[in-house]
Amino acid sequence: MSSQINILPPYLVFLGDVRDEVTAKTGLGLVQWRGPDCLGQARLPGCEIDLGLPEMSPPQAASAGARTLVIGIAPRGGALPVSYIDVLVQAMEAGLDVASGLHDRLGAIPALQAAADRTGRRLIDVRHSSRDYTVGNGRKRPGRRLLTVGTDCAVGKKYTALALHADLRQRGVAATFRATGQTGILIGGGGIAVDAVVADFVAGAAEQLAPAADADHWDVIEGQGSLFHPAFAGVSLGLLHGSQPDAFVVCHEPTRTVMAGVETPVPSLEAVIDLTTRLGRVTNADIRCVGVSINTGKLTASAAEALLRETDRRLGLPCVDPVRFGVAPITETLS
């Protein structure tokens, strides 16, 4: 079962000095899926991302009722910039807890731990768990599971999983969103950050994340990385084997030519479907692709519609953009 976290709303979302939406995806995700809990944003000079929230300093946010400063960034490597520490100390001195999904543990930074000890505020590391995980066993377990997989990192796997979960619930289908990354955990209130799990235990952690369930219950599991990414394929494979999905949805960003942070070409949808199916059969012989989710945000509406139609025709699978058109064509096949 996934670990639950207790982060007290409302939130002040801290963006630091980020300049791109990929790095700011945690803050953007919180506003999209937990909007009522987001009271304001705090930014440093040079920040080029605007969440559309009121601008507040930590003392102003505390006076307005905020209870937690949430670090709303997900930089490559997951390190906390040294230049952010003073703002986090100021937040604790104003009476706010500090929550982070970064790889760096907040309590391991002396200035932050000293401020927490002095003020009595909490340092919450959602990426790190004190739980022990077992090695995966691959045994078939009841319940139904869907995993989102990707042609690359940051292509919409989390958003697609959240949209599928919400649509299933609206249709009266028993379903649970299973978060596997920092943003998903912050949105869903629990989960396991699989990229912080020791490699031998990733599959076992995924088995615990989506345990045995009723036969008609769907666990909708947030995917990570890509089986084709030179840096992150390991965590993607462990998650695939441990999730033991009955169904998977491929997520794709159509304007990319190379994968994030490397020079490796983006694989085709056909290649991802084929490899995911072949590797997924290690733990579920009946695994199947049930749809494709395409992030068409950089395309015009007419180009987006044409791409979805052409992909649907070519693959014989429902193809959606969850933001523009919803996910009903996929969930209709599941409910």
Which position has the token pair 């077992």? 134
Same domain, 240 and 199: yes
Same domain, 203 and 236: yes
Query: Does 133 fall in a domain?
Result: no
Residue 45 contacts residue 69 (beta carbons within 8 Å): no
Same domain, 279 and 156: yes
Q: What are the pLDDT digits (tens) for 291-332?
A: 999 999 999 999 999 999 999 999 999 999 999 999 999 999
Same domain, 160 and 303: yes
Query: Does 139 fall in a domain?
Result: no
47, 148, 273, 325, 331 from 335: Cα distances, Å: 43, 17, 22, 18, 6
**Structural domain for 284, as ranges:** 144-331
Query: Does 58 fall in a domain?
Result: yes
Same domain, 205 and 293: yes
Q: What are the pLDDT digits (tens) for 226-253?
A: 999 999 999 999 999 999 999 999 999 9
Last residue of a domain, one of 71, 92, 125: 125
Q: What are the pLDDT digits (tens) for 67-118?
A: 999 999 988 778 899 999 999 999 999 999 999 999 889 999 999 999 999 9
Longest CA pairwise span in the chain (Å) = 62
Query: Average pLDDT in the 135-153 region?
Result: 96
Same domain, 99 and 152: no
* Residue of 34, 66, 49 whose CA lies nearest to 57: 66
Last residue of a domain, one of 98, 125, 152: 125
1 has a pLDDT exceeding 50: no
Least-confidence region, from 55-64, 129-138, 256-265: 129-138
Query: Does 17 fall in a domain?
Result: yes
Query: Does 132 fall in a domain?
Result: no
Query: Does 138 fall in a domain?
Result: no
Query: pTM to 2 decimals?
Result: 0.91
Is the Cα torsion angle 44, 52, 190, 334 positive or negative in sign?
Answer: negative
Question: What is the distance between the alpha carbons of residues 117 and 261, in angstroms, rounded to a whole number?
Answer: 38
Query: Does 136 fall in a domain?
Result: no
133 has a pLDDT exceeding 90: no
Average pLDDT over the chain, rounded to whole? 94
State the total domains in the chain.
2
Distance between terminal CA atoms of the chain? Answer: 24
Same domain, 190 and 57: no
Q: In the structure, what pLDDT confidence band is assigned to residue 127 with cuts at 50, 70 and 90?
A: confident
Same domain, 213 and 292: yes
Same domain, 164 and 305: yes
Q: In the structure, what pLDDT confidence band is assigned to residue 128 with cuts at 50, 70 and 90?
A: confident
Same domain, 173 and 286: yes
| Three-state DSSP string of the chain | CCEECCCCCCEEEEEECCCCCCCCHHHHHHHHHCHHHEEEEEECCCCCCCCCCCECCHHHHHHCCCCEEEECCCCCCCCCCHHHHHHHHHHHHCCCEEEECCCCCHHHCHHHHHHHHHHCCCEEECCCCCCCCCCCCCCCCCCEEEEEEECCCCCCHHHHHHHHHHHHHHCCCCEEEECCCHHHHHHHCEECCHHHCCHHHHHHHHHHHCCCCCCCCEEEECCCCCCCCCCCHHHHHHHHHHHCCCEEEEEECCCCCECCCCCCECCCHHHHHHHHHHHHCCCCCCCEEEEEEECCCCCCHHHHHHHHHHHHHHHCCCEECCCCCCCHHHHCCCC
Least-confidence region, from 1-5, 55-59, 237-241: 1-5
Same domain, 151 and 282: yes
Residue 175 contacts residue 217 (beta carbons within 8 Å): yes
Last residue of a domain, one of 93, 125, 157: 125
Q: What is the DSSP letter of 57?
A: -
Q: Residue 170: which CATH number?
A: 3.40.50.300
Query: Does 327 fall in a domain?
Result: yes
* Residue of 54, 5, 326, 329 whose CA lies nearest to 163: 326
Q: Residue 88: which CATH number?
A: 3.40.50.720
Structure tokens at 330: 């996929």
Same domain, 171 and 311: yes
Residue 258: exposure state from Cβ atoms within 10 A (0-12, 13-18, ≥19): exposed
